[in-house]
Amino acid sequence: MQVQESGFDSSARGRRFGVRHRVLAFCASLAALTYLDRVCISVTAQAMTEDLGLSNVQMGLVFSAFTLAYGLFEVPTGAWGDRIGGRRVITRIVVWWSSFTLMTAGAFSFASLVGIRFLFGAGEAGAWPNAARVLSRWFPSTERGMAQGVFFMGAHLAGGLTPILVAALLQIMHWRTVFVVFGLLGFVWSWLWYSRMRDEPREDSSISPQELEYIESGRVTGASHSMAGVPWRKILRNRSVWGLCAMYFTQTYGFYFYITWMPTYLATERGITGASIGLLAGVPLLFSVVADFFGGATTDYLCRRFGLRIGRVSVGVASFLLASGFLVWGTSVAEPVASTLLIGVAAAWSNFLLGASWGAAVDIGGGHSGVVSAFMNTAGQVGGMLSPVILAFVVDEFASWSAPLYLTGALYFAGALCWLLVDPTKSIESAT
């Protein structure tokens, strides 16, 4: 992998606000919107189960229906973005998922809710790989970790605040009305995105020649929209891609506990009630906002200082090891608030690696970064699909929440080992 040299002062240029930062703000708001709709159902779950007469296992299957569809359609939608660009694909994605957010309000049975959430997931699939693709076009490689970190800040800030917001809204409106309100927001956002966004920096008339040269001179050579066929064989035989997929499986498996069962865990296992549930359920994602920023900054700094491999891999390994330790610790603590805070720290460390993860996917993918990042995210969605169902079965079988959380701690440790397979210095396009 090679990065073109620039005659500009990268550090000075990187500090200057530019059009690329407007693009980043758009992408961060996209991430926020995805989590607003995803996390909403975890807070409304108790009201939905009572209204529709669902069991814990059935609600776990509802959570997993979204994730199953999301995983199935992730790679095709990522490849589509590589071919035609993120502007049109992301517009379609947001319009689709906003439509099914509205339809969630009309669910009348277990079957209807599973079907709606499955189609919701099918529509949202590819949002993050296409956002990663957009950031790869608008940011040089030395700023990519930070850009991804800010992107995930948007997701986790929204995810952390959503339980508080939804808990407050449920005091004044029915859970069905909440989904209507959130669905309408997506239509407004998609119109703004399509009217203001451009796939390539040089297509935006507002960008300065200096910023354009800074961006293009710092991108990975060859990372343009790939009109040629996807090199499926190279991707499927690449050790780094498999390492990314395996580690992201473990990361997302753990993460889905925080955005699905966390409110129920606090109520049933820790005895927390009322508005405190909304506040404490948001702790893991609010802590993660800080981790996203510093994780992205750390991987970029280490890449500049020690190279891509150390810069990406060291962050991934350390993050997983700390996440594992804090999760086991938090699970074993009896005091509810202290336990919640420790679990929140574990979540933050598990997300500290996101800038490194998506940065590595783009580094390795090059012109096929949409597909490679989609493969990684698909593996994550498999973990996310299994997580809520396995947790529900284990809790019902053993009448304990500790066992599934200890299992997650063990998976985090395995994720650290998976990072050792990853080499971001070797792109798909350079592989023989």
- Specify the CATH number for the domain of residue 98: 1.20.1250.20
Q: Percent of the chain beyond pLDDT 90?
A: 41
pLDDT value at residue 193: 94
CB of 313 within 8 A of CB of 357? no
DSSP, residue by residue, 316-385: HHHHHHHHHHHHHHHHH--SHHHHHHHHHHHHHHHHHTHHHHHHHHHHHHGGGHHHHHHHHHHHHHHHHH
Note whether residue 432 is domain-resident. no
Among 90, 40, 82, residue whose Cα is nearest residue 191 = 90
- This prediction's pTM: 0.76
pLDDT value at residue 41: 84
Cα separation, 414 vs 316, in Å, equals 12
Note whether residue 159 is domain-resident. yes
Burial of 50 (0-12, 13-18, 19+ CB in 10 A): exposed
pLDDT value at residue 239: 95
Note whether residue 4 is domain-resident. no
pLDDT greater than 60 at residue 413: yes
Domain, as residue range, for 102: 10-421
Note whether residue 245 is domain-resident. yes
Query: Positive or negative, the Cα torsion across 271, 273, 277, 280?
Result: negative
Note whether residue 426 is domain-resident. no
CA angle 37, 340, 292 (to 5 degrees): 55
Burial of 23 (0-12, 13-18, 19+ CB in 10 A): buried
As a whole number, mean pLDDT of residues 327-351 equals 93
CA angle 167, 170, 172 (to 5 degrees): 125
CB of 77 within 8 A of CB of 374? yes
pLDDT value at residue 63: 82
pLDDT value at residue 34: 85
Beta bridge partners of 220: 3
pLDDT value at residue 74: 86
Beta bridge partners of 3: 220
Q: Percent of the chain beyond pLDDT 70?
A: 92
Among 92, 95, 79, 94, residue whose Cα is nearest residue 129 = 79
Name the residue with higher pLDDT: 3 or 103: 103
pLDDT in tens, 174-186: 999 999 999 899 9
pLDDT greater than 60 at residue 97: yes
Among 392, 393, 382, residue whose Cα is nearest residue 67 = 382
Cα separation, 7 vs 284, in Å, equals 43
Q: Which residue is it, tokens 């439509």? A: 99
CB of 7 within 8 A of CB of 431? no
Note whether residue 289 is domain-resident. yes
As a whole number, mean pLDDT of residues 297-324 equals 95
| Average pLDDT taken over every residue of the chain | 86
The structural domain count of the chain equals 1
CA angle 350, 77, 236 (to 5 degrees): 70
Tokens coding 119: 């189609």
CA-to-CA separations, 325 to 49, 92, 318, 403, in angstroms, rounded: 33, 41, 11, 15
Q: Which amino acid belongs to residue 77?
A: T
Confidence of residue 129 (pLDDT cuts 50, 70, 90): confident
Note whether residue 430 is domain-resident. no
Name the residue with higher pLDDT: 248 or 1: 248
DSSP state of 13: H
Note whether residue 5 is domain-resident. no
Name the residue with higher pLDDT: 144 or 359: 359
Confidence of residue 16 (pLDDT cuts 50, 70, 90): low
Q: Which amino acid belongs to residue 396?
A: D
**Highest averaged pLDDT of the listed ranges 82-91, 240-249, 263-272:** 240-249
